[in-house]
Structures are given as structure tokens and as C-alpha cells.
Amino acid sequence: MTGYFDYLKSMLQPLRVYRFDGTYVGAELQSLANALDGAAETIRQRQENVTDPGTGGEALDGYRQMMPLLDGDASEQQRRRFIRAVLQMPGKVLSKRVINDLLGELGVNAVVREGSEPFTAEVVLGENEDTDRAKQILETVLPCHLNVVYVSE
């Protein structure tokens, strides 16, 4: 079987520490690879479904389970827009521009900018923004190594 087993095996073989054929290590690696293959297939199916304009809410509900930021009040069109934005992020890199675009897709009236300290993101919340909801979304979207500081202007 190809897929993640071959990938994981190729990553570990140069270490020359593990034997894979007929060993517990090989069986454990195969078990992990099977789970990763299953997850990759689920994501592939969901990606196909969300980009198909005829797909109903069932596919979107699957994404909602994976991305809890999509609250039940969002319209199907808003959910599709957000999911497309996440799936089409360039190289899955969270630059300031990408984060700010993503926040817009989530309906958060806020701007993220670089902070004055290293590894700090300053967040300026817009007027009438629900602070608790915005913080929950921001702290889920922003990389975990960043210290988030909320500022007002």
C-alpha cells in the first residue's frame, strides 16, 4: 500500500534505527499511516464537495465539525466563502494579509498588525465588534507562538 506508510517509512529509513517488515514498529507505523490515509481521503472528498456549487449543506456540516469557527448562524454562502478561503490560502502561510482576509471572511471587524515586541500580534477591533467572539476566533486562527495584544485606536 502506498500513501503515508511509504512516506513515513522513507522519512525514518535514513536513521537506520528501525526495521519495518514483520516488526511491531512496522505494524504501528502502518496503523498510523492508515489513520492518516483515511483523514487525507476525508479531506479530499470534502474539498471536492465544497467547490461543487451543487453540494448541499451536508458537506458543509462536515467542514463545520473540523472548523468550529463556522457558527450555526452563518449562511451557507458565508460558510462556503470561508472554507474556500481556508483551502486556497497561498502555501497555507498565515501572513498578515491572509489573516486579515480570513477574518473578513469570518465576519470579524478587526485588523491584525505586527506588534512592537517580537512574536507579538496587535489586534485592533472595529467598532461594535463582539469582543468575546472576536477573541475566540482570533486565538484560533492566529499561530500559537504569537502573543496577542488587543489595542484600541
Spell out the CATH class of 90-153.
alpha beta
| d(C-alpha 76, C-alpha 89), whole Å | 20
Distance CA 95, CA 86 (A): 13
Percentage of the chain beyond pLDDT 90 is 16
Which grid coordinates belong to 1? 500500500
- Confirm if 122 and 115 have CB atoms less than 8 A apart: yes
Q: 9 near 41, Cβ under 8 Å? A: no
- pLDDT category, 8, cuts 50, 70, 90? very high
Residue 98: partners with Cβ closer than 8 Å, 6 or more residues away: 89, 90
Every domain range in the chain assigned CATH 3.30.1340: 90-153
Model confidence at 144: pLDDT above 90: no
Confidence of residue 1 (pLDDT cuts 50, 70, 90): very low
